[in-house]
Structure 1
């Protein structure tokens, strides 16, 4: 799996050339990103020198996570908590939950709501997120170990397209491409989609041109985020994006 992530171009000859070139360029530039970060790996991992921001809990070139039920649930919690905030703030919230031994669905359900609110306060919108975390915990228990459908996830309170795809890709290891604001900025700037393209259209742009390789799906999304942090934070920097040379040639 690692091999295919490192060399997408050799895996699928029918891939739209520009998508293949973008992936190969980003991977060569930044290397494996090791998403989704987990609190259990804070001491053992997180030394990727090409990554901006938090480097704790990542597992570069290891696509075997999540390895446990609680790791799976932690990813689900993180996907919800990261709405409308930065990962740095989510990390603080998750570490607070870890200190309370509350990174399991059973613990979240049994935890006093006020205690839960205080724990996740760094991630913002803590009243709303507390209710939704408890609902997700109940839902996760009812799953009984099966993999949910995307439609099922979208039916849950507070779970939109990006959150659903993040949960499917990183918690349940499904080929479901995540489209965030960074990805939208990049593909729009590169002229790969219409400025008015909706989430589903951008998602299809990638899914229709990628091999069925979990590592590629995970790395591509993470690499786009890393790249955007360097070139798409300010509008004035968009023209400096090196990927423009790829799409223009």
Structure 2
């Protein structure tokens, strides 16, 4: 546990608190924006997601009810900047309809399970965990490509991890998830901040072509690229 926590502390000292995901676009409730963003961000950059979110705001597509009842064409136009817009519009409408099945977002936030989210079309483990952590404040650690890239290069891997199956099976995601959740305190805010810090590190330093100069983890990095 100490090694992973030390990495968290090093990143926190270097970047400071990032307090990710400012919900300022008037979605109702504000946490619903996180859910929408988690679906829109699949296979695209965050700047494209922000453009789509702004379009949704301008068209008053900011609540589960408004999206569930929107015309498909209107949703597609709003989702267009994020790419795969037909697919994402369909998934957003299905997700919003699912939320309304709980009587609205409050009921959804109290009653939904991870398994139910995973049963929805287009919602995989990363998207489900992003919703649970950032929108519903549940202590689940989100695993993404950045996280795996950083820790593989550091040479810190889940016990028994096999590079031969890495990324090829669902077990890959859960091996990493178990690794972080077993090596960190069960702390929602820590999970949020750590994930954000890892993403920031990956964008600034641990890129596909790494920029090691100035990286706060360079000293202990094994550079397993």
Which interval holds the TM-score relative to the shorter structure? 0.7 to 0.9
Q: 1:236 to 1:27 in 2, by over 3 A?
A: closer
Task: Determine the C-alpha separation between the residues in 1 that align with 2:111 and 2:137.
Answer: 9
Partner residue in 2 for 1:169: 133
Partner residue in 1 for 2:60: 101
Task: Determine the C-alpha separation between the residues in 2 that align with 1:92 and 1:38.
Answer: 14
Q: In structure 1, which of residues 124, 140, 150 is the aligned counterpart of residue 83 of structure 2?
A: 124
Answer whether contact 2:23 2:31 (CA < 8 A) is retained. no
Structure 1 stretch displaced more, 80-89 or 113-122 = 113-122
Runs of at least 5 residues in structure 1 that lack an aligned partner in the other structure: 1-15, 42-67
Partner residue in 2 for 1:139: 98
SS of the equivalent of 1:122 reads helix
Answer whether contact 1:22 1:246 (CA < 8 A) is retained. no
SS of the equivalent of 2:25 reads helix
Q: CA RMSD in A?
A: 1.9
Answer whether contact 2:75 2:89 (CA < 8 A) is retained. yes
SS of the equivalent of 2:183 reads coil
Structure 1 stretch displaced more, 74-83 or 208-217 = 208-217
Runs of at least 5 residues in structure 2 that lack an aligned partner in the other structure: 167-171
- The list of structure 1 runs, each at least 4 consecutive aligned residues, that deviate by more than 4 angstroms after superposition, is 238-241
Matched residue count:
207
Task: Determine the C-alpha separation between the residues in 1 that align with 2:73 and 2:216.
Answer: 48
SS of the equivalent of 1:39 reads coil
How far residue 236 of structure 1 moved from its aligned partner, in angstroms, is 4.3
How far residue 149 of structure 1 moved from its aligned partner, in angstroms, is 1.4
SS of the equivalent of 1:235 reads coil
Task: Determine the C-alpha separation between the residues in 2 that align with 1:172 and 1:93.
Answer: 22
Partner residue in 1 for 2:177: 203
Q: 1:140 to 1:242 in 2, by over 3 A?
A: same
Answer whether contact 1:186 1:228 (CA < 8 A) is retained. yes
Answer whether contact 1:21 1:246 (CA < 8 A) is retained. no
5 Å matches for 1:1-249? 16-40=1-25, 70-144=29-103, 145=107, 146-193=110-157, 194=161, 195=163, 196-197=165-166, 198-237=172-211, 241-246=215-220
Task: Determine the C-alpha separation between the residues in 2 that align with 1:143 and 1:35.
Answer: 27
Instruction: Give the alignment's TM-score, normalised by structure 1.
Output: 0.78
